[in-house]
Structure 1
Amino acid sequence: MSRPAAREPRRLTRWWRRRSLRTRLTVIAATAIAVSVFVAFQVASELLGWELQDTAENQLRADSRVLATTAERAGLARVQLPPYPGAGRLVRVILPDGSTRTPAGQPALPPVSEHAGRVAQGASADLMESNDSDDDGYLIYTLRAGDGAVQVAHVADDSPINQFGFGMLLIGLLCVVGGALVGRTVARTGLAPIDRLTAAAVRVAHTRELDADIPDEGGGEIRRLIQSINDMLAALRDSRRAQRLLAEDAAHELKTPLTSLRLNVELLIRLDQRGTLDSALPAESRTRLLNDLGAQVAELSTLVAELTDLARGDISDESTELLDLADVVVAAATRARSRMPDIEVALDVTSVWVSGRPAALERAVLNLIDNAGKWSPADQPVQVRLSAEGTSAVLEVDDAGPGIDAADVPRVFDRFYRADSARALPGSGLGLSIVQRVVDAHGGRATVARSARGGALLRVDLPAAAPPAPIDRLTTGDDTAVR
């Protein structure tokens, strides 16, 4: 039996949540006015009832004093009682023996109560009492007079209160209807900017056009909402523009290696179909062509991997943790040595703790070392230094190559940008842009300068963090180890 009763509030809640905001405001306004009118009616009815009763009691006291004075002069048994007027006041005399006298033709009053009898016996001076019966209710005042008492009664009349209540009911209904109309008008006027905002959002969703901002109107919360949506549209525009540029740049960068790869493969297919592969391509040329094909495939694989990483736009899928950046640098240097066995990577690192994403940071350090390895002479090592400077972890990677021209410095971290001198070298032009994105995501800064050896010096500053526990590390020339 209790389960259906518990479902009713949930059903009412679901029904209420499905209503529009305009309907809710209308219902709330009408309900508030109805409650206010009901409370006002209750208070006014009580005040009116008290006022009418107080007036009736005062009148009964005054009439009783007049009748008591007359009865004391003439005697209770002989006093002439005023004739019953047919409505209104009723009188009665209580004799010393407990019997009563009433005017001729007057309706019978309720029997004398025990308390009224005590007044007639002199035990009490006066008494105001009410008697409510199924037919009529009486307000009776008993006053001591001579050896008995006189009573003046008044038929309780609720008609003024009933008339007042009926009038208040009509006024309340009118107020509720008026409140509903006013609430609906206020809701329509107040929610008009929301309606226009909804229409604009629907238009953007249907047309996919993000260029038109929603007009800034209204005030307070509505203005902040419109500004927030405009900011969101601006962010979407920037994201779409960045995706378009990335797609255009990717298509441009993929075109050349794919064309070269296709031509080489088509050449091999035609020679093989003609049966002149061995005669047209000596073993040395065929080996060189196959090596070129392998290099082109490797370059395409690297480019696709970097495009995939860059197109993700963020690295939020990897959790942030407190880590020793020295471990990340050592891991990246190990990978770089396996990829470039002819290039020496010299490490000079100290333990510096940061809060970051280890895989993303290792990718960024690896890209820095790979970039330096392309330019560094075979007999000159790529130097990687990690140290703490104030509240920052500073990573420096420099090479002994030709360095970066001043005109190329502002665009070093741009996507697909490659200096003229680097066109013949392998690479996609995305490595340093990935470094920039990872550093920005960690609240750091990446810069480029000329190293003391004449090559390029790439520097990354990251916010340092307090280590979880004191750690003593032994720094060597090419590796670090925990004591």
Structure 2
Amino acid sequence: MIAATAIAVSVFVSFQVASELMDRKLRATAEAQLHADSRVLAANADRAGLAQVPLPPYPGTGRLVRVILPGGSTRTPVGQPALPPVSEDARRVVQGAAPDLLESTDWNDGYRVYTLRVGDGAVQVADLADDSPINEFGFGMLLIGLFCVAGGALVGRTVARTGLAPIDRLTAAAVHVAQTRNLDADIPDEGGGEIRRLTQSINDMLTALRDSRQSQRLLAEDAAHELKTPLTSLRLNVELLIRLDRRGTLESALPAASRSRLLHDLGAQLAELSTLATELTEVARGDVSDESTELIDLADVVVAAATRARSRMPDIEVMLDVSSVWVSGRPAALQRAVLNLIDNAGKWSPADQPVQVRLLTEGAWALLEVDDAGPGIDAADVPRVFDRFYRADSARALPGSGLGLSIVRRVVDAHGGRTGVARSARGGALLQVSLPAASPPSASKWSAAGDDTAVR
């Protein structure tokens, strides 16, 4: 319909313009011919006289002529149809009071009359106004327009159906995926241009959904596996307490020291479950966060994380050597990552050896290093240190879920940074995080908190 309407409008406008141009051209041609014929007749009348100039018999078609004598009478060829009476304007031409005159009566059925003064009289040449060429042209344009409109509608319908066929198939495939929840059924890549890009985009979306579903499935399976051990231990200890309490032998079977140790184990298991639940929530959220990105001093984030770590590990000393480095990031997420690094180091560091945290600028990067004096990381475990739920054989007996360092890598990756593992100078593990450094908010603030500023 749009194509047909556009063609109809185009044909109508073209017809109007062409008709106007043709009308002007026909008028100009007819007037030029009248001028030429009147001058020929005037030349003959000037030689022979108005009363004696020969007027051949009217042949039935062609020009009409008339001679106006000085007294106002007229002469016309034999058999010629009567012309309209001499007008007042024509009489003024005969009297010499007006220049040559072209008069036109009604264009549809009247005459065009050209009056040219000769001596004391005048000659007139006229033709019958004929608009048949315009009518024939208009009829032809009408037929052409109708043909073009019909053809345009047919072609437009065909093109629309052909162009929308891939959309229909794409819609049917998308509906099928939505109804069956089968994300493995890729939509056939067909068509071209925008259709192909749309199909590829939907297939990419399905691939992302499949990966997301697979990640959720793996997360659920890993979480179930990690929850099994602390829940089993917790259930056995609680069942033991309930069974002894029912028998009334709780105090005799479990001395005070044993009960205290059992309750301590229960508390540790509950704390481990709480930590695991928190970390599972962090992992399940992925990169979804309502926290906005802002320009922050990473030193403030590290100091805040160290303060929280000291309250959680009162027996482990945390030493800071940090310089002011500005980065663009999410403060809470970065603090969580730094806290996980310090917590991990605190599990391995001996009680008499502090966890050392250093923050410095290295080229265009902000470099954070956390090292401990523990046994270090085996070469076989280095590639998987930041993997989700991965725990080295030597760490299985320690509290933790294997999620802390995976959260660190996810946060660092989201900020365009890098993670690394090396051996500390003290023999333990050296975990490194590099983040793109940013310009400070103002020169004055940068100078006030420059590279020489350290927090111990």
TM-score (norm 2): 0.90
Aligned-pair CA distance for 1:390: 1.2
Aligned to 1:461: 434
Residue 155 of structure 2: SS of its match in structure 1? helix
Cα distance in 2 for residues equivalent to 1:275 and 1:109 = 141
Q: How does 1:10-25 map to 2 (within 5 A)?
A: none
Report if aligned partners of 1:30, 1:176 keep a CA contact under 8 Å in 2: yes
Cα distance in 2 for residues equivalent to 1:274 and 1:180 = 93
Aligned to 2:230: 257
Aligned-pair CA distance for 1:98: 3.8
Report if aligned partners of 1:368, 1:432 keep a CA contact under 8 Å in 2: yes
Is 1:342 matched with 2:315? yes
> Residues 110 and 328 of structure 1: is their aligned pair in 2 closer, same or farther, counting only changes over 3 Å?
farther
Is 1:130 matched with 2:107? no
Aligned to 1:427: 400
Residue 132 of structure 1: SS of its match in structure 2? coil
Aligned-pair CA distance for 1:95: 2.5
Report if aligned partners of 2:64, 2:80 keep a CA contact under 8 Å in 1: no
Residue 190 of structure 2: SS of its match in structure 1? coil
2:353 to 371, 380, 388: 380
Cα distance in 2 for residues equivalent to 1:461 and 1:74 = 115
Aligned to 1:207: 180
1:121 to 95, 104, 107: 95
More divergent stretch after superposition (329-338 vs 208-217): 208-217
Residue 109 of structure 1: SS of its match in structure 2? coil
Report if aligned partners of 1:315, 1:360 keep a CA contact under 8 Å in 2: no
Report if aligned partners of 1:348, 1:475 keep a CA contact under 8 Å in 2: no
1:44 to 1, 8, 18: 18
1:426 is aligned with what amino acid? P
Cα distance in 1 for residues equivalent to 2:267 and 2:85 = 121
Cα distance in 2 for residues equivalent to 1:453 and 1:390 = 26
Cα distance in 2 for residues equivalent to 1:128 and 1:215 = 76
Q: Deviations over 1:45-100 (max 9, x none)?
A: 23332343344334434543454456556654566766667776443332324454
Structure 2: which 5+ runs fail to align?
none
2:38 is aligned with what amino acid? S
More divergent stretch after superposition (171-180 vs 153-162): 153-162
Aligned-pair CA distance for 1:111: 4.3
Aligned-pair CA distance for 1:108: 4.8
Residue 176 of structure 2: SS of its match in structure 1? helix
Residue 102 of structure 2: SS of its match in structure 1? strand
TM-score (norm 1): 0.85
Is 1:64 matched with 2:38? yes
Report if aligned partners of 1:88, 1:154 keep a CA contact under 8 Å in 2: yes
Q: How does 1:238-257 map to 2 (within 5 A)?
A: 238-257=211-230
1:153 to 103, 126, 134: 126
Is 1:141 matched with 2:105? no
Aligned to 1:165: 138
Is 1:93 matched with 2:33? no
Is 1:328 matched with 2:301? yes
Aligned to 1:393: 366
Report if aligned partners of 2:101, 2:115 keep a CA contact under 8 Å in 1: yes
Cα distance in 2 for residues equivalent to 1:209 and 1:437 = 29
Is 1:359 matched with 2:336? no
Cα distance in 2 for residues equivalent to 1:406 and 1:415 = 18
Aligned to 1:32: 6
1:41 is aligned with what amino acid? F
Residue 218 of structure 1: SS of its match in structure 2? coil
Cα distance in 1 for residues equivalent to 2:285 and 2:295 = 24
1:296 to 264, 269, 277: 269
Residue 232 of structure 2: SS of its match in structure 1? helix
Q: Deviations over 1:286-332 (max 9, x none)?
A: 32222222111111111010000111111542111111111111111
Structure 1: which 5+ runs fail to align?
1-25
> Residues 63 and 388 of structure 1: is their aligned pair in 2 closer, same or farther, counting only changes over 3 Å?
closer
Cα distance in 2 for residues equivalent to 1:86 and 1:130 = 21
Give the length in aligned residue pairs: 450
Is 1:371 matched with 2:344? yes
Residue 448 of structure 2: SS of its match in structure 1? coil
